[in-house]
Chain A
Amino acid sequence: MSVTSANPPIASSPSEPMLLAKPRNMWQDAWRRLIRGSNGRIGLAIVTLIVLIAVLTPLVDPYDPTTDSNMVESRKSPSAQHLFGTDRLGRDVFRRVMHGTRFSLVVALVSIIVGNVLSTAVGMIAGYYGGLADSTILRLMELMQAFPAIPLAIAIVAILGPGLLSTILAITIVGIPGGMRVARAMTLSLKNLDYVDAARSLGASNAHVILRHVLPNLISFVVVGATLGVGGIILTAAALGFLGLGAQPPTPEWGVMIADAVPFLRQSPHLAMFPGLAIMVTVLGFNLLGDGLRDALDPSLSGTA
């Protein structure tokens, strides 16, 4: 099988018979465009930093939230010793914010990856085969989408019981219909293209067509959609933590930390301030990276909302 659809040839007009530069594949090309755009560059820098913090903090500074308390130091304002101050139990807020990074990232990454793999697979199968299965799946997804996202996530967590795992599951389930419908719609238009017909007439199996010809052509959309979705997921996870339905105290999850700070808003506003800023910077980083990736992977969409 020599039909490769993932590498569209670099455009060359008839007046230029030969390409001087070595052709780059889609991902190399996208990488160059990502680095060139300021959104993508800033986003990539923030996300890299956040990932480093998430990975390195537990290695550099082992932390057990269940034994961390020092009542003498309760609710101190930010100082050189405690950069972000201390909370009700005298715990260093800076330390807890750093340790909180990995909880947000794990929730976001697991639900984004599981959710997108599932929704893309189901979407491709539904779109490719059509028929009764397709319309059944589509109706079900429409029904799920009739429920607003956050209330639905809260209801799912209520069934499963509060916790980080329930948060991941609820967010994954809520995200599936949207991704599935995008994958399905793209498969519908892709499966009628000439090169798919050509592959089929050469005797390619359905599985081969889906994996080698449909998937490579919608993967960039999935990647952009997934990156742009991370921010929203981190916000939802923090919201569930804030409502007491997500991670449970004393886990240093950012939403939980803000909920802990509410009774002391009057005297110690810094307790709520810093975890919120951490959420904001992280979400901002992923949103910028997503914008940059979208511009890089599909230049025709550049500048649209």
Chain B
Amino acid sequence: MTTYIFRRILIVIPVLIGVSILSFFFVRLIPGDPVRVMLGERARPADVQQYKAQMGLDQPIYIQYIKYMEQMFKGNLGQSIVTRVPVAKDISYRLPATIEAIFFALLLGIVLGIAMGIVAALKRNTIVDTGASLVALTGVSMPVFWLALILIYFFGVNLKILPPGARLDAHLKITQVTGFYLIDSLLMGRLDIFWNVIKHMILPSFVLSTTVMPSIMRLTRASMLEVLQKDYIRTARAKGLAMSKVVLKHTLRNALLPVITVIGLQVSGLLGGAILTENAFSWTGMGSWFYGAIVGRDYPVIQTAILLNAVIFVLMTMLVDISYAFIDPRIRYK
């Protein structure tokens, strides 16, 4: 087991190095001189030179890369050339915001998706099954940003029962410790703020969960149907075991194996969905940060945001592989 985990971690290292090189050079391809963007078209040449030297932009590109990596391992990710805020500082409060949203979206997507998949498989070819398929199909066919707007209009503007955006009502102040508002509000001992944070979280998490729920539901259903045909299920039923026990003890454990793999793949969709969802809900997370940087041609921010997206994705895939080995012993010995 330890060898397997160790090997799996080793594979990730060259990928991470490749990803860092790619995201570094990628950003240099963006047209438009960042210094010109920063200082304006009529800046004096001397100022431009001085600024370039200050930012290290006048050196050969491979030296820029090495310097970048060196600084990164020291925890210095550069600063935004638009706002002048250190990138690390932006990340410290934006990353928790996105993780909070993605975590609840994933939770919601997994719970609802698996539950709907089980019910659909057990009630195969009934109206329940068709209904569940229809919900899943509608879910994959709907643009996330559009669903966000419709829900904002319905719950935020029309019914006024949920806030239309942001992470917290403007009049409430939160002391940031972890950056996770749910934890921070509890640390402050303010249940009213905690409740307010939850209310702000409901719509974005739900919208984001629709990017993962359909595939989890469909795979759970298909995989349940396959396992339910197995001989050992028939044996369990034949010896008089209750259906509920057969489903929970014999079917589900085996049926959920492929579902776990798919959850890992969904992280890509979640990171993409986060950009759209955060924009719609004015959520101050990584997605809206990345988008703002693209629009403002903010090199250091784009670079770090692309890199971070890839790193999160690669690490999540690794974690899924490892957890898979824990659940299915056959994987470890391959």
Which A residues fall within an 8 A CB radius of B? 139, 142-143, 146-152, 154-155, 158-159, 161, 231, 235, 238-239, 242-245, 255, 258, 261-262, 265-266, 269, 272-273, 275-276, 279-281, 283-284, 287-288, 303-305
Contact = CB atoms under 8 A, between A and B. Distances in A.
B5 interface: no
A159 B138 contact: no
Nearest to B130: A38
Contact of B30 (A142, A152, A159, A242): A159
Contacts, number: 133
Given A142-B15, A143-B22, A159 B29 contact: yes
Nearest to A267: B157
Contacts of A146: 15, 18-19, 310, 313-314
Q: 8 closest Cβ contacts across the A-B interface?
A: A150-B272, A276-B146, A305-B218, A148-B268, A283-B141, A284-B141, A305-B219, A148-B271
A231 B19 contact: no
Contacts of B309: 147-148, 151
A243 to B, nearest CB: 6
B140 interface: yes
B12 to A, nearest CB: 10
Which among A152, A258, A266 has the greatest number of chain B C-beta atoms within 10 A? A152
Nearest to B312: A148
B306 A280 contact: no
B142 interface: yes
A258 B19 CA distance: 34
B222 A265 contact: no
Given A143-B15, A146-B314, A280-B142, A151 B290 contact: yes
Nearest to A288: B137
Contact of B18 (A143, A152, A154, A280): A143
Contact of B279 (A149, A243, A272): A243
A31 B143 CA distance: 30
Contact of A272 (B22, B138, B146, B297): B146
Interface string B127-170: 00000000001101111111001101100010000000000000
B310 A239 contact: no
Given A287-B137, A287-B141, A155 B306 contact: yes
A143 B19 contact: yes
19 contacts: A146-B15, A146-B310, A150-B269, A151-B290, A151-B306, A161-B31, A239-B145, A242-B143, A243-B275, A244-B295, A261-B149, A272-B150, A275-B146, A276-B149, A279-B142, A283-B142, A284-B141, A303-B222, A305-B223
Interface string B256-292: 0000000000011101110110010000000000110
A143 B314 CA distance: 10
B153 A265 contact: yes
B232 interface: no
Given A231-B140, A279-B142, 12 more contacts: A139-B18, A148-B313, A151-B271, A151-B309, A155-B26, A161-B31, A242-B145, A243-B279, A243-B291, A245-B294, A266-B153, A305-B219
Interface string B1-45: 000000000000001001100110010011100000000000000
B143 A147 contact: no
B136 to A, nearest CB: 9
B122 interface: no
Contacts of A258: 143, 145-146, 149
Nearest to A239: B276
A301 to B, nearest CB: 10
A231 B142 CA distance: 10
Given A155-B302, A159-B26, A276-B143, A242 B276 contact: yes
A155 B19 contact: no
Nearest to B152: A265
B294 A158 contact: yes
B222 A304 contact: yes
Interface string B54-95: 000000000000000000000000000000000000000000
Contacts of A245: 294
Contacts of B218: 305
A82 to B, nearest CB: 20
Contacts of B271: 148, 150-151
A282 to B, nearest CB: 8
B317 to A, nearest CB: 8
Interface string B297-314: 100001001100110011
A275 B142 CA distance: 11
Contacts of B275: 150-151, 154, 243
